[in-house]
Structure 1
Amino acid sequence: MQRRRLLFQLGFFALFLLAPALNLLRFDLTEAQLWFLGQRWSLGIDAFRAGEITANQAALQIILRAFLPAIVIIGVFLGVAWRYGRLYCGWLCPHFTLVETLNGVLQRACGKLSLWDRHRTRRTGIQPSARWWPVFFGLCTVFGFLWAITLLTYLLPPASIWGGLIHGTLTPNQARFLIAGSLIFTLEFAFARHLFCRFGCAVGLFQSLVWMANPKGMVVAFRREQARDCRTCSTAAHPQGSACDNGCPMRLHPRNIKRMMFSCVQCGQCLDACEETQTAQGREPLLEWRIGADAVRETLRQRKAEQAAQAGQKASS
């Protein structure tokens, strides 16, 4: 599953970078013109001003070529989130692809997935070494610049931006945007990439809100009746135990109830870690995806277990 997910991520990442140059999707501020799939996407306003179409025809074109496509795209996107959660984040999002890349490099530098982590996340075959620090900060700088110039090409002709960069003929405003954007994105990748994904990304936030509102949305189910098997849970990558917790790139605890998994990106790494360790011991995985009525039953069961645990704590105190 992780190989398939990586192919999806790399493919969408390449599409994100190449879309402006191929006129697949960009808005040209110099012409006030939207490009979509290599064609000019006109709303008919210029034709109306030139007297080529009537006001009713212009209004119809605005509805059919602006409002209707936007409603369909948003509806499909939120429909997927309603059923599967932040699937876009875990399987397509270019930013999250870089987050996971930088996680791996930072782990080689200091053994952590974030500079703010209190404890190291040990992995077999990876011995933290200071020589990886220049690589980490170098990649943050390169990715920050790449993000800034790519976003600029979504607003201005890519040929003029890249040509101006190569020949040193960028306008002052273009240069200021690249410098400021590169600095902001570099700092974000280095210090706040996980915080941005969890709390700062509107796309991820709306996916999570829609998913949380659907009791039948896909969740990670945990077989609590076999919880004792977690005592020996370890993999080659995570020999210290708690393989599912340490395998989560968002540093969530997959055995928690749904409301504690608000920022889950449905990457499936916790399921893979659980399957690896339990299969090696001749047992069935304790984690699995559930959807529909099974998801509702899992949520109710987890809620009852949480209430029972809280009641036990109160009784003991």
Structure 2
Amino acid sequence: MNKIQKQRLAWRTGFFLLFILAPVLDLFRFDLEKNHFILLTYPWTLGIDAFKSGDIGAMEMALNMGLRFFLPLALIVGVGIWVAWKWGRLYCGWLCPHFSVVETINHFMRKASGKLSIWDREPLPEKQADGTCIPVNRKWWWPTVLVILGFSFLWAVVLITYLLPPKEIYYNLFHLSLTRNQALFIGVATFLFIIEFTVARHLFCRFGCVIGLAQSLVWMGNKKALVVGFDRARSTQCAECDASCEHACPMRLKPRSIKRKMFTCTQCMQCVEACEKVHENDPRPPLLHMLSEQCALDVSLRDFGLKPNIPSDCFPPIHHSEAEKQD
């Protein structure tokens, strides 16, 4: 695991813990009983009830709507669009708690079946050119099933704490005294998550997640956005590899293809790391790099059959003397 992947693991872990603890600590949740948001332990209301009762006037109500609804919404959407425009699905690959579950289940399922998804036709090689060695053992299906069940139940419980008082939910859960509606919500949600995490987690990330889909659409609109670039001038060198970059992709994409076919790239950069490992003892530089601005056009504009002039410094030069020594 290189430095970037260690940083990504730290960000994902921290955000996943925040996702679980935010309602418990009253950092953010919507209280159905009080019918308003709670933000940083304080009630976040628009003052609708106060306006109806005559406690505040129309001007104060309009001010509340502007400062507590439209302004925060504009900031969140604006920052989200700006980040997606420059870096794509950065939230998905570096923060999203759902994608953390996807990657974790991928890891266990690959140990159990050699595949990242039950829908994959062929298993991945147990030993790869990037040094990855994952022997397949059907005994890993038991941990895989437990991980899926555990995450499904956890997500169901956490989601209800965003709507009802967390202390009440966890107390009732611990004492096995959930109300009928609480038990029904957790039971149905757990069942649905089991199905999604088992057979449709990649499909959900690609086309079912509104946040992810919006990021992809914005990213596709910027031809100079950050993207995985492939040094096409040395494409013959890929014949020496076993497509380790494709095997490393948790979304099962082909990093050497055009941008349109990488529509759901989460910018996790695991393909780049795999390529670096393949070339770890090779004097020639890796063929995959993260590119932006003019360098990104080679990947973006090829969607339209164009072959733009790419700056010569987009990819590190190969030192022929070293390559000859290697040969």
- Give your verdict on TM over 0.5: yes
Give the gaps of 5 or more residues in structure 2: 128-132, 308-327
Q: Could you tell me which amino acid in structure 1 is paired with residue 111 of structure 2?
A: R
Q: 1:237 maps to which residue?
A: none
Match of 1:176 among 169, 172, 184: 184
Q: 2:269 maps to which residue?
A: 268
Runs of 4+ displaced beyond 4 Å: 301-306
**Residues 278 and 285 of structure 1 are in contact (CA less than 8 Å); yes or no, is this contact kept in structure 2?**
yes
Q: Does 1:34 align with 2:17?
A: no
Q: Does 1:153 align with 2:188?
A: no
What's the secondary structure of 1:279's corresponding residue? coil
Match of 1:211 among 219, 223, 237: 219
What's the secondary structure of 2:252's corresponding residue? coil
Equivalences for residues 226-265 of structure 1 within 5 A: 226-233=234-241, 241-265=242-266
Q: For 1:263-304, what per-residue CA distance to the aligned partner results, in whole angstroms no more than 9, with x for missing partners?
A: 111100111111121232111111111112222244335754
Q: 1:54 maps to which residue?
A: 57
Query: Take 1:108 and 1:39, find their aligned partners in 2: how far apart are those partners?
Result: 46
Q: 2:315 maps to which residue?
A: none
**Residues 88 and 267 of structure 2 are in contact (CA less than 8 Å); yes or no, is this contact kept in structure 1?**
yes
What's the secondary structure of 1:250's corresponding residue? coil
**Residues 260 and 300 of structure 2 are in contact (CA less than 8 Å); yes or no, is this contact kept in structure 1?**
no
Report the identity percentage. Answer: 49
Q: For 1:127-179, what per-residue CA distance to the aligned partner results, in whole angstroms no more than 9, with x for missing partners?
A: 21121111111111111010111000000000111111122222211111111
**Residues 258 and 302 of structure 2 are in contact (CA less than 8 Å); yes or no, is this contact kept in structure 1?**
no
Q: Does 1:192 align with 2:205?
A: no
Task: Please tell me the root mean square deviation across aligned C-alpha atoms, in Å.
Answer: 1.5
Match of 1:119 among 117, 122, 125: 122
What's the secondary structure of 2:279's corresponding residue? helix
Aligned residues: 299
Q: CA deviation at 1:93?
A: 0.5
Q: 1:84 maps to which residue?
A: 87
Q: 1:5 maps to which residue?
A: 8
TM-score (ref. length: structure 1): 0.90
Query: Take 1:25 and 1:109, find their aligned partners in 2: how far apart are those partners?
Result: 38
What's the secondary structure of 2:38's corresponding residue? strand
What's the secondary structure of 1:260's corresponding residue? helix
Equivalences for residues 97-116 of structure 1 within 5 A: 97-116=100-119
Give the gaps of 5 or more residues in structure 1: 234-240, 307-317
**Residues 224 and 300 of structure 2 are in contact (CA less than 8 Å); yes or no, is this contact kept in structure 1?**
no
